[in-house]
Structure 1
């Protein structure tokens, strides 16, 4: 039996989602739910440890770092950073051109690198023309491009989530859960601690 467009349109979001999952072949090779939960817990714990360690470290740096410092490898640092940024932007362009999902992480990473570039350009510039150029570059080029590179994939991710029935069309992306149980429709996810 083939459903008509009208029958599909009459389905609820939950029914459409169930239909999509039933029509999508099992990807195979996925870790067990128990492994997924264990990895999630360990990664969450690692991030919390990093946050806890970074707070006193940041206070320590604020108190102990000199206000003026002559850096070694200055040229290699900036050229290396720009090569990394160039690589990520090129990967984003290729992934976008070929309509590959790799565009999600590369665009997001490129946007973050542009924000970092703007921050360090402004903060390390000498007053006067150097600082003016850094500010103009940050506000006219780097930050707007970073916004496009971060917001675009997030909007596309939300569109895909709505299209595949994972979220309601009016739900915000940050409220969307990772649909792990849907990968294993016949298994139950262990309760969260």
Structure 2
């Protein structure tokens, strides 16, 4: 029963976000002065690195939770690519952002592939509990 309410909440949130996006599109300025800009970008890369490391470590232990970290890492890579492209200037900065986006898309694709892979022949690592994610 609890899962059904979570799905209703998610669906409602999707619907309610549409008018919010319209408000943002009509009211946000075209540019803004941003404090802590390097920290924001470095933080996103730290998040991706941590996701890659967690996925690798869990995956090497045959821990099914690696699929969860792979999914989260794919999301972070897509977000990074989106912000790289949408905040880049024209010319060389945009070309660099597009090149980075290709690498981030490859990372996201690898993570999604891993997260969706079904390898039922591997047993959980010693000391781990079976997971309902399998």
Q: TM-score, normalised by structure 2?
A: 0.84
Post-superposition, which runs of at least 4 consecutive aligned residues in structure 1 deviate over 6 A?
A: none
- Secondary structure (helix, strand or coil) at the match of 2:96 reads helix
Residue in structure 2 matched with residue 147 of structure 1 by the alignment: 109
Residue in structure 2 matched with residue 84 of structure 1 by the alignment: 47
Paired residues, what number?
A: 122
Deviation at 1:49, TM superposition (A): 2.0
Cα offsets for 1:20-72 (capped at 9, x unmatched) = xxxxxxxxxxxxxxxxxx11221012102211221111111111111111112
Q: TM-score, normalised by structure 1?
A: 0.59
Match status 1:98 vs 2:93: no
Structure 2 residues without counterparts, runs of 5 or longer? 122-131
Whole-angstrom CA distance in 1 between matches of 2:95 and 2:80: 15
Residue in structure 1 matched with residue 100 of structure 2 by the alignment: 137
Match of 1:126 among 86, 89, 95: 89
Cα offsets for 1:72-96 (capped at 9, x unmatched) = 2212211222211111111011011
Match status 1:116 vs 2:79: yes
Deviation at 1:128, TM superposition (A): 1.4
Larger radius of gyration: 1
Structure 1 residues without counterparts, runs of 5 or longer? 1-37, 164-178, 180-193
Whole-angstrom CA distance in 2 between matches of 1:69 and 1:62: 14
1:25-104 counterparts in 2 under 5 A?
Answer: 38-104=1-67
